[in-house]
Structure 1
Amino acid sequence: MRERSRARLTARQDDVIALSHSLHAEPELAYEETRSAAKIADLMEGSGFAVARGVCDLPTAFTATAGSGDLVIGICAEFDALPGIGHACGHNVNGAAAVAAALSLAEIADEIGVTVKLLGTPAEEYGGGKVDMIHGGAFDGVAAAMMLHAGPEDCAGACTLAISSWQVSYTGTPAHAAVMPHRGVNAADAMTLAQVAIGLQRQQMIPGGIVHGFVASAGEAPNVIPARADASYDCRAETLEDLRELQRAIRACFAAGALATGADLEIRSVGNDYVDLHQDTPMASLYADAASRLGRTVMPSEQGMRGASTDMGNVSHLVPSIHPFIGYNTNNATAHHPEFTRYGASDGADRAVLDGGLAMAWTAPALATDASHHTSLLGRLAGRQTGTTVN
């Protein structure tokens, strides 16, 4: 079965690599990935998959299925980019590797009793398309989910953080800064006081908590008391419970700026909250074994990246999941750096697409044919559907 799935991918590798390069050359932002989603959906439809576009009321979300087995394996394809720096997180590699996995696994799906479900998941960088798709029912019936992520090293998994994003605004009162400053309410001062409070709060911050953001605007002229200040801020923590505690403390810091200056405060949530990632240990081990068969050296999950966040975390709390990293040379550049983008269509990245896709495809047969894995996954799925806990 490994060789048959490898042969299928070998026959389609030019198409898969061309897809990766095309996604890389035309980066699109969250929820606007019209061309990117169409490229993947068209390729899957042309490969015999049943494709549904615009699922879950998301124009750039889709599903593509093949096979008819009782064990539904979900493979998540990401394809959104970052503002100004394109695919600096390697989502062209992520998406193309998911396609490689789906094509390879479809070759043996009916033989091993699997249905392959490729999920086109938009807006990972901003918004959380997978969360939208969970709410829309796209993961209903999925017994196991997987994806991989581009990076400088191979790793069986990662420890990611829960995250919540805010848009913070203060509204004050404008006034002449020299003639009548006492008539003004300074929104920029409110933002400054909040930032100082956040800085002081770090000493008492919950362990593992991270706060970061930037001020987008705070006035228009030096001789006018700023009547508006806007900022974007993220809070991260190791669990959703810790995140809520951190949010309470940081919200109080922003409230302090309003209290001290008299400005009005508005805090708006942006997108979906992401929760921490739960790697399924048996699945991660199967993936690591498959990748090692392809000559790759895979670090264990506990040595993986920490501090980042992903909406795959939300999937992992619902469905047994893995989120390994596939590495290639980036000249020491890390994700979300413009230099990282340069290597997304390199020979190493192309190899990562094929190896990563095949390793995911080789993970599935063990899940389907080993009685303990198969029974466990279907039992947990039944528990989700009935609202009971099944080990």
Structure 2
Amino acid sequence: MKQKIISYLHTIKEDLFNLSKYLYENPEESFYEYKSCNYLINMLKNNNFKVTENYLQIPTAFYAEYGSGHPKICYICEYDAATKEGHITGHNLISAMSIGASLSLAKVLQNFKSGTIIVLGCPGEFISGAKVTMTKQGTFEDIDVVLMAHPDVENAETGTSMAVLPVKIKYISKEAIFNSKEGVYSSLDACTFIFNSLSFLKNGFEKDCTIDGIIIENGNSPCLLSKESTLKFYIRTPKMFQACDIEKKVKELAKTVSSLMNLEYEISIPELPYDELIPNKSLSRIFAHNLKEVGIIDTVQPKNTFAGLSLGTVSHVVPCIHPYISIVEDKSIKYSTTEFASATISNFALDKVLKTASALAITGLDLLEKEELLQEVKVEFYENIKKHKNKPCKEL
């Protein structure tokens, strides 16, 4: 059956190349990926997948399935592009890998009494990925494993990611005031005070805990200050409970400044938070073995990323992998650049897509064939959950 999977993938390699190229040539911003979403849905429908469009009332999300019963093997498609930059992180290839894996695994599913292949179309990864909403809505509770791979400049096994908690603080003056007016604090004064205070507050954080991406928004007039000023930033920590502890301090600071300056204020979460990614070593081992079997042998140690991943939230509900696959032949190319985006439609990248899709599909096959492997993955998952149990964040 492994050979059938590999052989079938070679028969659809042009389709996968065309998919990668279409997404590359039609980059769409987060949650506006209409062309990309339709292209993927049509491919799945043409291969007899049952597709639910507008999934969870997210216009560019979908839920596709083939087969019935357990185990349920889920593949993830991401397809948004960076605003004005295109596919600089290779989301077009994530979709090609997952579509290739799901279509090829479907060709051998008839050999099993039960089993379901699920493909999730997950828009908006650049801004509060839809996977977080899907997790909160229970999408992953009946799924056995989630498999995906991410393009990169090196091969690496699944590591951890950071927990990310977005925060927005708005201060409101009673009226718009002139810069020269004395005896009164403006909303901008409050945001500036918070901005400077956070720099000192960070000195007391635990290792690898930080606040970044601080932006102050105010009116555009050089003379008249707006009634409202807003401060946005991200609390980034190895574990979500650490972010929650920092958030409590930020709330106290915001309240104190409001009292000192006699200003109203609002504090909120402008985007969905991302939990840290919990890697599943058993599932990673199975995939890494299959990756070597198809010819990608130079994998390195697990990659821990400073970025936040929406898959992190998913990994607290179901076993996941998020390995990294080099798609560049020229080692001078940097990740998240226009050169990297161009590399995604090279013949070298297409070869990596085929091999990675093969490994993803064969990993699904292993879990369908060998109940003991799936049991091993799940036992580790539940042990990990006990260790990573987060303290719940209170609502802002």
TM-score of the aligned structures, taking structure 1 as reference length: 0.89
Q: Specify the alignment match of 1:389 in structure 2.
A: none
When residues 111 and 24 of structure 1 are mapped into structure 2, their CA distance, relative to the original with a 3 A threshold, is same
Q: Which amino acid aligns with 2:140?
A: F
Q: Specify the alignment match of 2:84 in structure 1.
A: 84
In 1, Cα distance between the equivalents of 2:179 and 2:312? Answer: 48
Residue pair 1:122, 1:128 contacting (<8 A) in 2 also: yes
Q: Specify the alignment match of 1:314 in structure 2.
A: 313
Map Cα deviations across residues 3-60 of structure 1 (whole Å, 9 max, x no partner). Answer: 1001111111111111111111112222221111111010010112121211222221
Within 5 A, what are the aligned runs for 1:106-185?
A: 106-112=106-112, 113-172=114-173, 173-178=175-180, 181-182=181-182, 184-185=184-185
State the Cα distance separating 1:74 from its structure 2 match.
0.7
Residue pair 1:290, 1:362 contacting (<8 A) in 2 also: yes
What SS does the corresponding residue of 1:273 show, helix, strand or coil?
coil
Within 5 A, what are the aligned runs for 1:1-391?
A: 1-68=1-68, 70-112=70-112, 113-172=114-173, 173-178=175-180, 181-182=181-182, 184-215=184-215, 217-302=217-302, 304-329=303-328, 332-376=332-376
State the Cα distance separating 1:260 from its structure 2 match.
4.2
In 2, Cα distance between the equivalents of 1:137 and 1:156? Answer: 27
Alignment length (residue pairs): 380
Residue pair 1:187, 1:263 contacting (<8 A) in 2 also: yes
Q: Which amino acid aligns with 2:145?
A: A
Residue pair 2:283, 2:377 contacting (<8 A) in 1 also: no
Q: Which amino acid aligns with 2:186?
A: N
Q: Which amino acid aligns with 1:342?
A: S
In 1, Cα distance between the equivalents of 2:381 and 2:284? Answer: 19
TM-score of the aligned structures, taking structure 2 as reference length: 0.88
When residues 140 and 86 of structure 1 are mapped into structure 2, their CA distance, relative to the original with a 3 A threshold, is same
When residues 121 and 176 of structure 1 are mapped into structure 2, their CA distance, relative to the original with a 3 A threshold, is closer
Q: Which amino acid aligns with 1:176?
A: F
Residue pair 2:280, 2:380 contacting (<8 A) in 1 also: no
What SS does the corresponding residue of 1:270 show, helix, strand or coil?
coil
Q: Which amino acid aligns with 1:306?
A: T
When residues 157 and 298 of structure 1 are mapped into structure 2, their CA distance, relative to the original with a 3 A threshold, is farther
State the Cα distance separating 1:203 from its structure 2 match.
1.1
State the Cα distance separating 1:196 from its structure 2 match.
0.9
When residues 204 and 54 of structure 1 are mapped into structure 2, their CA distance, relative to the original with a 3 A threshold, is same
After superposition, the CA RMSD in angstroms is 2.5
In 1, Cα distance between the equivalents of 2:5 and 2:219? Answer: 60
In 1, Cα distance between the equivalents of 2:133 and 2:361? Answer: 26
What SS does the corresponding residue of 2:273 show, helix, strand or coil?
strand
The farther-off stretch of 258-267 and 242-251 is 258-267
What SS does the corresponding residue of 1:188 show, helix, strand or coil?
helix
The farther-off stretch of 28-37 and 366-375 is 366-375
What SS does the corresponding residue of 2:224 show, helix, strand or coil?
coil
In 1, Cα distance between the equivalents of 2:76 and 2:99? Answer: 9
What SS does the corresponding residue of 2:215 show, helix, strand or coil?
strand
Q: Which amino acid aligns with 1:174?
A: A
When residues 378 and 324 of structure 1 are mapped into structure 2, their CA distance, relative to the original with a 3 A threshold, is closer
- Structure 1 gap segments, 5+ residues each: 383-391
